[in-house]
Amino acid sequence: MKISSEIPSAVFVGAAATLAHLGWHARRTSDLDIAVEIASDVEEERLVKLGYLKLDEKWYTPRRWKIDIYRRDVSGFAVTKIASDSIEVRVRNSTIRVTKLEMLILMKHRARQTDDVQSLIRNRFSSIDWNYMRSVARNDEEVVEMKNVARSMNLM
């Protein structure tokens, strides 16, 4: 993905992160969501020079993907924490940074994206670090809710 070279501090947090964890065939997306730790990476003048287009306060990549840029937080997670805990994933001939699995599950839960929560837990259950999830959750109830999702699928 060229976005990672164009916006070096970008961490994918939405559907692209979900696809990175589930496999790129899992579902489609019409936009990209990124958390950006370094503000200068997404200054308007810089993005325009790179071929990004701004229409009605919405940004589009040079390849015409709609892109939502988060600078402070995503679903209650500070961009600095998202960036420091992100993981690298290989995509074709490049590497992108994506949200850590457990944080992504909680983001999707907070956004009430039930299908993504269930898919991530069902398909990545053995990879979930419940201790890490507990350390980044708002409270113990959030973790209990995610464990209940796993129980409902007979994974626990």
- Domain boundary assignment for the chain: 1-99, 101-156
pLDDT of residue 91: 82
According to the model, what pLDDT value does residue 25 have? 67
Note down pLDDT in tens along the chain; length 156 residues.
689 999 999 999 999 999 999 986 655 677 899 999 999 999 999 999 999 999 999 999 999 999 999 999 999 999 999 999 999 998 888 889 999 999 999 999 999 999 999 999 999 999 999 999 999 999 999 999 999 999 999 998
Q: What is the pLDDT of residue 106?
A: 98
Q: In the chain, where does DSSP find H-type helix? A: 3-6, 15-22, 44-49, 79-85, 101-110, 114-124, 130-136, 140-152
- Amino acid of residue 133: M
pLDDT of residue 92: 80
The reported pLDDT for the residue numbered 98 is 96
pTM: 0.92
